[in-house]
Amino acid sequence: MVRDDIVEYSLDGHHSEEAGKKIRSKIFKVTALLSVVTIVEVAIGWFLPRAEVGGLGSWGWFGIETTYMILTVLKAAYIILVFMHLGDERKALRRMILWPYIIFILYLVFILVTEAYAVNAAWLS
C-alpha cells in the first residue's frame, strides 16, 4: 500500500548554482557579522575590567556599559531580522515589530541601571 500523506520536500529543491552561492554568501555574511559583534562585546568585558576603568569615573564606565548594551540590542535585532525572516518584509512592518521591543528593552535596562546606582549610593552612605 502506498502512503499519500508523506510529502518528500527534499525532492522539491530546484535551486540553481547561482541561487546556492547567494544563499551560502548570506550565511557567511551573517556568521561573520554576528561573530565580529560578539568578539567586540567580549573584548569590552575582557580588556576593560572595572578596576582599570575606575580612572575614567562613573560616567566613563556608564558609557562603556551603554555601548555594550546597545551592541547587544542591535545584535538581537539583527538575529530577529535574519533568522525570523523579518528582513524580507516591508520597512514599515519591520519597524512596527522591532521598535516596541527595542524601546521596552532599553526601558528595562534604564530601570536596572538606575536602581543599581541607587542601591550602590545607599550602601555607600
Distances (CA, A) of 108 to 81, 112, 120: 22, 6, 18
Distance CA 4, CA 109 (A): 53
Question: Is pLDDT of 52 > 80?
Answer: no
Q: How many domains does the chain have?
A: 1
* Section 41-57 average pLDDT: 70
C-alpha cell at position 1: 500500500
Domain that holds residue 102: 22-124
Task: Confirm whether 5 is domain-assigned.
Answer: no
- On whether residue 10 sits in a domain, the answer given is no
Is residue 108 domain-resident? yes
What global pTM score does this model have? 0.60
Is 1 a member of any domain?
A: no
Give me the pLDDT at residue 5, please. Answer: 66
Is residue 3 domain-resident? no
Does pLDDT of 54 surpass 70?
no
The answer to whether 33 touches 78, Cβ cutoff 8 Å, is: yes
95 belongs to a structural domain? yes
